[in-house]
Chain A
Amino acid sequence: MSLKKLWIVLLITVVAPFALFAAGGQEAAEEGGDVVISYHCWYPPEEILAPMIAEFEKLNPGIKVEVTKTEPDTHQQKVPVVLASKQKLDTMAVMNTDFVMQVEPYMADLEPLYSNAYGSDWEGKFQPSILTYSRGRTSGDLKMLPEGMNGSPVIYFNVEIFNELGLSIPETETDLMKTIATIKSKRPDLVPLAFRGKLPWLHTISAFGLYAQEEELWSFVRDDGKPYNSPEIVKMAQWWQSLYEKDIFAMDTLDIDNNSIGELFYGGNAAMMVHGAWMAGLLSEPYREKKNIGFEIGAFPYPAIKAGNTPTTAATPDMFFSVVNYSDHQEEAFKLMDFFIQGEGINLLAENFLIVPGKTDFVPNPELLTTDLARNSYKSIIDVLSNPQSALRQQDFLTTPFGKVLQNIALGGDVKESLDDFQKEIESGKFE
């Protein structure tokens, strides 16, 4: 090869990637005169999101939405980088975690946008607690708003199995223990209560969320900075361990994850399943038909730890949205956000029961909940979500590392020693 040819090959090697990159960058701008807005999210599933976006574009001719949907972890890591480098992004789904702190400098003030759209009494369109909560998450101004409330855990059950074994919805933890014992003795082939115990964060959510009916302890450690080896947390962890000792949860649930819990429960191999309120679609017959689930499903909140307690769960406003303050298309971006929160978008989402909408004029579609059991089950979920006693958010920082500690406790590890070790880990400074 001559030297001249070699230089040409080298030049192409170096220049070609840049040329391709530059050509790709041109695409995002405008599309046939329409305004193209860029939207980043991790939720809801594609089969629900795509029709929502199509509906928005139908209702808003002249606006096209370029969706970037990623896994939650990727969203959490990617969006701050996109914002910091001022790449094209007009509106975004906001994770209610430390993510808020990271992206707050790039969030537009929503009050002027809502005033323009709905007039001065726009606040009446939202439940007051949602507005108070949202303002509290940023530095006073309203920079993000949620679609509604969500929470975890609640318990879904296979109605056929309950009928076959003559079981009823347990009112207390002792009742639940008896229910599980009955299932184990009469149908040993079944998993009595499937729990995604492989996921450490779920141990934290469940322990703190459910124990809140005794005492709210998450704000105790998160906001008040109290140590994780405090007597109060020790007591809660001992209760968590007792659930495994009493066989309410079992060691074999520690290998169940998001996929396998579905296989177990939908396949009729588990009598009950611990999951989030966002699975409430299972209560709806049309939804079950769509998912090829051939049996009726009911739901109830985790029962009272002791008689007289009010059942609860870890529930907070969920699925926040914000408009990016450097966006050239804030008005269009706001329209998309409002579509998701107050418009047709939230109605579409609510039909899938993925969230309990936060808008004041929401009415559930009566055609979807066709039996008394379905309606009562859904009401019981709404009741626990509306009166959350735990301050815990699903994606709060430290839910995963603390969940690993709770896994160890579930396996019979020494409670005090495990919590002392975790407190030492906190004090080491690695999480700061």
Chain B
Amino acid sequence: MNSTEKHNWRGYLFILPLMLILGVFVIYSFILLVQGSFFKTDLLFNRSKFVGLQYYKIALQDPYFFKAIINTLVFAASSVFFGISLGFIFSVFLAFSIKGGNFFRTLFFVPTLLPNALIAAIFGGMLRYRFGALNDFLAVLRITPVHWLSDPAMAYISVLTISLFMIGIPMMYYQAELATLDKGMFESAQIDGAGFWRITTQIIFPTVIHSHKTIVMTLMLTTFRAFERVYLLTAGGPARSTEITGTYIYTFFAEGGGRNIGYVNAISTLTLILAFVMSGIILSAFNPKVVKAKRSNK
């Protein structure tokens, strides 16, 4: 055995505890989840009856599950959009030594440190139609109050907009990568006549591709787990208008008191598969070979 092989072998030993935990709590749970989706059973796994793919068929034909998936993807897309647009722009500005830079950094980052449930509770109070802070403010300006949470369309926009306050995480990634960039590159660009906008969009933006990848992946998957935010803000309503996969699964499980675990397992499995597929798409889109090929085609 040469030294490299020995080194690799010890490496496996180091990751063994994590792999054990992962094996027990993730892989085993996943197997149990998939297995359970083929059975009609309750929370106690009593009276199990094999039903094959029946629950998958029901789920795929269920317009409300479909709507929950679409909503999840739309909310994820908005989250990504805010993250890589505003998050990037603010990071670039903060990369300059502006007065109060640390204050703004903290201001943008603090919401990401708060529990989602707290954010939802704060916004829930602010957006209430009667005696909500935002409508009270609009009243001062003599603007008609808005049904932020009780009108389905406005509730949708409210849930979308709340992700704006989560740009602290993308900003953190961008700032970390911006700090590593070679300043000489910008000086050369300036000498060649490039202005601020051109440097930002054509040099910095393509250069921080690793941050883009991490941010898109993180924000996309975070939306799949944005349960508390949506549940506490709108409970998926009114009238299912803001239902995401997390609230759909939870409410189905809770309202049935664990009555039909097979269906819950099937919709959870489909959601997981969707999350895997989305991750795969993002990873392949940011694959260095693909990116390089795209650039050379241009």
Contact = CB atoms under 8 A, between A and B. Distances in A.
Interface in B97-125: 124-125
B58 A428 contact: yes
Interface range, B side: 35 or more
A200 B234 CA distance: 11
Given A10-B17, A254-B238, A98 B257 contact: yes
B263 interface: yes
A141 interface: no
Interface string A377-403: 000000000000000000101111100
B14 to A, nearest CB: 8
A46 B13 CA distance: 48
Interface stretch (B59-67, B190-198, B277-285): B59-67
Contacts of A191: 130
B225 interface: no
Nearest to B131: A269
A432 B17 CA distance: 41
Contact of A6 (B10, B59, B237): B10
Interface in B51-83: 54-55, 58-59, 61-64
A42 to B, nearest CB: 12
Given A76-B258, A400-B255, A413 B129 contact: no
B150 A254 contact: yes
B31 interface: no
A197 B124 CA distance: 14
B43 A77 contact: yes
B40 interface: yes
A413 B43 contact: no
Given A10-B13, A10-B17, A411 B62 contact: no
A253 B62 CA distance: 29
B102 to A, nearest CB: 36
B257 A77 contact: yes
B157 interface: no
Contacts of B238: 197-198, 254-255, 407-408, 411
B58 A413 contact: no
Contacts of B234: 198
Interface residues of A, number: 53
Given A102-B42, A255-B149, A432-B40, A401 B129 contact: no
B178 interface: no
B256 A431 contact: yes
Contact of A404 (B44, B55, B62, B237): B237
Contacts of B14: 6
A198 B237 contact: yes
A429 B256 CA distance: 13
Given A81-B44, A199-B235, A407-B237, A255 B255 contact: no
A97 interface: yes
Interface in A250-274: 251-257, 260, 263-264, 269
B130 A251 contact: no
B171 interface: no
A198 B234 CA distance: 7
A189 to B, nearest CB: 9
A99 interface: yes
Interface string A89-120: 00000010111001000000000000000000
A8 interface: no
Given A98-B259, A191-B130, A255-B128, A413 B239 contact: yes
Nearest to B253: A77
Contacts of B20: 14
Given A10-B17, A255-B129, A431-B260, A398 B10 contact: no
A10 B149 CA distance: 51
Given A251-B147, A255-B150, A430-B55, A407 B257 contact: no
A99 B257 contact: yes
A251 B257 contact: no
Nearest to B51: A429
Contacts of A431: 256, 259-260
Among A10, A95, A255, chain B packs the most CB atoms within 10 A around the CB of A255
B138 interface: no
A428 B55 CA distance: 10
Nearest to A100: B257
B252 to A, nearest CB: 8
B165 to A, nearest CB: 19
Interface string A70-99: 000100110011011000000000010111
Contact of B13 (A6, A80, A98, A425): A6
Contacts of B43: 77, 80-81, 102
Contacts of B263: 430
Contacts of A401: 255
B260 A432 contact: yes
Interface in A184-220: 191, 197-201
B228 interface: no
B151 A251 contact: yes
Contacts of B61: 428
Contacts of B148: 255
Given A255-B148, A428-B61, A430-B263, 13 more contacts: A10-B16, A76-B258, A80-B258, A102-B46, A102-B257, A197-B150, A198-B237, A254-B149, A257-B235, A269-B130, A407-B237, A411-B239, A432-B260
30 contacts: A13-B17, A73-B254, A76-B258, A77-B43, A77-B254, A84-B45, A95-B257, A97-B257, A102-B44, A191-B130, A198-B234, A200-B237, A251-B129, A252-B130, A254-B238, A255-B127, A255-B148, A255-B238, A257-B124, A260-B124, A263-B131, A397-B255, A397-B256, A407-B238, A413-B239, A428-B58, A428-B61, A430-B260, A431-B260, A432-B260
Give the top 7 A-B pairs by smallest Cβ distance, nearest first. Answer: A254-B150, A408-B239, A252-B129, A400-B255, A255-B149, A407-B239, A255-B150
